Amino acid sequence: MSKEQLLEKLHALDRECNLLEKAAAVLRWDQETCLPELGVEGRAEQLALLEGIHHEKFTAPGTGRLLEELGSVSENPGGDEKLAPPERDFLKVLRRAYDREVRLPPDFVAGAARAEGLSQAAWVQARKNNDFAAFLPHLEKMIDFSRRRSLYWGYSENPYDGLLDIYEPGMPAAAIEAVFGPLKDHLNGLLKKITARPQVDASFLDKEFDTGAQALFSRELLKRLGFDTRRGRLDLSAHPFTTTLGADDIRITTRYILKDPLSSIFSTIHEAGHAFYEMGFPREIRGGCLADGASMGIHESQSRFWENVIGRSRPFWQGLFPVLCGYFPKELRGVQTDDFYRALNQVKPSLIRIEADEVSYSLHIILRFELERDIFSGRLAPADLPAAWRTRMKETLGVEPETDAEGVLQDIHWSQGSFGYFPSYALGNLYGLQIFEKMCADIPGFEEDISKGDFGTIRQWLSDTIYIWGKRLYPPELLKKITGQSLKSEPFLNYIEEKYADIYEF
């Protein structure tokens, strides 16, 4: 067989595996948005079967043979050097996925999928009933599956590193600690400066905002940002998320809280940022393994960029606040744009991560990272998590949850076995601002565009600079290509210092 024929066979296999992954994603999306409570067990069986079929197909001996015949081995994943760069990137990504998947026994894969479905459903109920004890057996199972997965991959020294590597290739716990340590000190210092200043008045938000009107405004917001509703949908879920069900079917979700209109606004913008990335992959890589983000950290850089750098900026609300007032004329009567801008940037250490301000947000993440690290090193037992959560929240942010529902049970990630994901959010903040520096240089008038509600130039820039690569480059390579540099905290710290010095006048 010629190289072209071998590649065509491998692409066909990749496309079929991708179809199976998307079919499983449909079932997961449905579980989080509309599955009736008692449908959970049947759904877990369906997912276990699909994951099993996917695993069997992807790890069949033929896949390994095709990769080898194209010169792709673990030491040289890109294969034959004469192949075109996109094909070498395709082989690199597929080899990495194959090397991991082939080490997992089939019954482990199906068992993990089944347990994840049940665990996630148990988490929804446990959070609703504030009942950590009911969730604990599922949590222990998720930790056990994650640990075993990492051991199969060969991370016997430190299983947590294997989990981190899923989301941020090449960033083990020690490398993340080296970034998070100074970041934590810096943010704590900034928090101190802010709390010493007169506080922002956000009392006009302390009332009920009809959730029906919130839903209408979320749709308006998406339209103005340029979200293509022929290729995506907005629905409701307990925890907002984005999932891709097909190249032209990208789903996002939000949630509406009667006394907190900002929650749905910023989760909608956040998820739209993820969706733009997923919608922006070039046609030639759609439907295959390269149609994915460079890493979850880079993915979160996109969502957090739209949410914070754009969505929490002054120019953004100069354009949009009058529109929001149209939806809430009574509630926002007499409020000036600048009052609203300050209120939505109020810095106030609080219990819930996804509603946290930009200064304390990364501290929420660092806390979760440290807890995960301690669980996988055996220093912290899962049963002790609620107490550890309360103590460390008090130490880190000076607040302590009264219930586990607003403490250790607040996030969906652990219920899905996604240990190692959390650092992506804080890394995303750093990547996002480093990339933003370059954007500012390339698009001098972007602030005026934002205030006019014109996001086309910014989206085009992101598309040409980031989306176009899909998963072809690892994060350090992508960052180097865009900024010429490696990961740095300074752009984020400079941005946050300058922004909050203006708001809190120090």
400 flagged as catalytic:
no
Query: Least distance to Co ion from the beta carbon of 270, Å?
Result: 6
Q: How far is CA 27 from CA 37, 120, 236, 243, in A?
A: 14, 13, 15, 11
Q: Which of 213, 203, 277, 291 is nearest to 247 (CA)?
A: 291
Minimum CB–partner distance for residue 269 and Co ion (Å):
11
| Type of residue found at 461 | W
Return the structure tokens found at 229.
């509703």
Interface positions, 2-21, toward Co ion (CB under 5 A): none
Site map for Co ion, 60-89, x if CB under 5 A?
Answer: ------------------------------
Q: Which of residues 58 and 422 has its CB atom nearest to Co ion in the complex?
A: 422
**487, amino acid identity:** L
- Of all residues in the shown chain, the one whose CB is closest to Co ion is 303
- Which residue's CB is nearer to Co ion, number 190 or number 275? 275
Task: With beta carbons less than 8 A apart as the criterion, state whether 406 and 354 touch.
Answer: no
Task: Give 232's strand partners.
Answer: 250
Alpha-helical regions (H) of 357-489: 358-376, 385-397, 423-442, 446-451, 456-465, 475-483
**Closest distance of CB 274 from Co ion, Å:** 6
Helix axes 358-376, 159-167, angle to 10 degrees: 140
d(CA 487, CA 176) in angstroms, rounded, equals 11
- Tell me whether residue 244 or residue 303 sits nearer to Co ion (CB atom): 303
Q: Nearest approach, Cβ of 418 to Co ion (angstroms)?
A: 12
Q: Of these residues, 51, 116, 271, 307, which one is catalytic?
A: 271
Of the pair 359, 412, the CB lying nearest Co ion is at 412
Please list the residues that pair with 249 across neighbouring strands: 246
The minimum distance between CB 308 and Co ion, in angstroms, equals 12
Read off the tokens for 83: 């192949």
Measured on CA atoms in the order 164, 296, 487, 284, is the torsion positive or negative? positive
For Co ion, give the closer residue by CB, 146 or 303.
Answer: 303
Q: How many residues bind Co ion (CB under 5 A)?
A: 1
Of 282-321, which residues contact Co ion (CB under 5 A)? 303
Which residues are identified as catalytic? 271
Which residues here bind Co ion, judged by CB under 5 A? 303
